[in-house]
């Protein structure tokens, strides 16, 4: 399956991060994605926000030619509930089982605002061989390079 992008540029932006909407090479081995949405607020406002996230991510998958294997959400789940969020746990389990190549999220803050908890997810991706894909540039690691969640070379 060929991925499509909004432009052919694969160069990092001014911050050194790569935006998945501008890259075909960096994400070329992504074929199947799991969508994950989260909002810390519940009720009608939270539902509306989850719907907006899902629509953005589904459009992102279509633009890139990715198959959405499953989508999960956590409504009204603040960052403090990181390890007990049922949607995130289910998404991570599916990725660990090899049923998808990437976790597609609106932004890393949807995973966690806490750098330590976010590192846990990035480390899982690296060890288990899947990627984190977000429409925004990925955060930088300690060396100042964009965090790499791509598969290790065989």
pLDDT values of the chain reduced to their tens digit, one per residue, 154 residues: 333 222 223 333 333 333 444 333 445 689 999 999 998 888 888 889 999 999 999 999 999 999 999 999 999 888 777 778 999 999 999 999 999 999 999 998 888 888 888 899 999 999 999 999 988 765 555 554 444 444 332 2
CA 120 to chain centre: 14
The predicted pLDDT at position 138 comes to 56
Contacts of 141 (CB under 8 A, 6+ apart): 147, 148
The predicted pLDDT at position 41 comes to 85
The predicted pLDDT at position 1 comes to 30
Cα–Cα nearest to 113, from 136, 89, 135, 139: 139
Distance CA 114, CA 111 (A): 9
Helix axes 86-96, 115-128, angle to 10 degrees: 20
CA 121 to chain centre: 10
Contacts of 153 (CB under 8 A, 6+ apart): none
DSSP 8: S
Q: Are 152 and 125 in contact (CB under 8 A)?
A: no
Q: Are 104 and 56 in contact (CB under 8 A)?
A: no
The predicted pLDDT at position 38 comes to 92
Q: Are 48 and 19 in contact (CB under 8 A)?
A: no
The predicted pLDDT at position 81 comes to 77
Distance CA 31, CA 33 (A): 7
The predicted pLDDT at position 35 comes to 97
Domains (range + CATH), the chain:
31-133 (3.40.50.1390)
The predicted pLDDT at position 9 comes to 30
């Amino acid at each position: 399956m060929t991925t499509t992008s909004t432009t052919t540029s694969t160069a990092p932006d001014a911050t050194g991060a790569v935006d998945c909407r501008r890259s075909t090479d960096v994400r070329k081995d992504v074929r199947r994605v799991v969508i994950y949405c989260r909002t810390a607020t519940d009720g009608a406002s939270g539902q509306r926000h989850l719907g907006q996230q899902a629509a953005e991510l589904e459009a992102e998958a279509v633009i890139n030619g990715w198959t959405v294997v499953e989508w999960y959400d956590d409504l009204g789940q603040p960052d403090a509930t990181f390890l007990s969020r049922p949607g995130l746990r289910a998404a991570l389990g599916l990725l660990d089982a090899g049923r998808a190549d990437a976790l597609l999220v609106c932004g890393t803050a949807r995973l966690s605002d806490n750098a330590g908890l976010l590192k846990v997810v990035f480390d899982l991706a690296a060890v288990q061989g899947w990627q984190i894909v977000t429409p925004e540039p990925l955060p930088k690691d300690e060396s100042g390079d964009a965090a790499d969640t791509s598969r290790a070379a065989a």
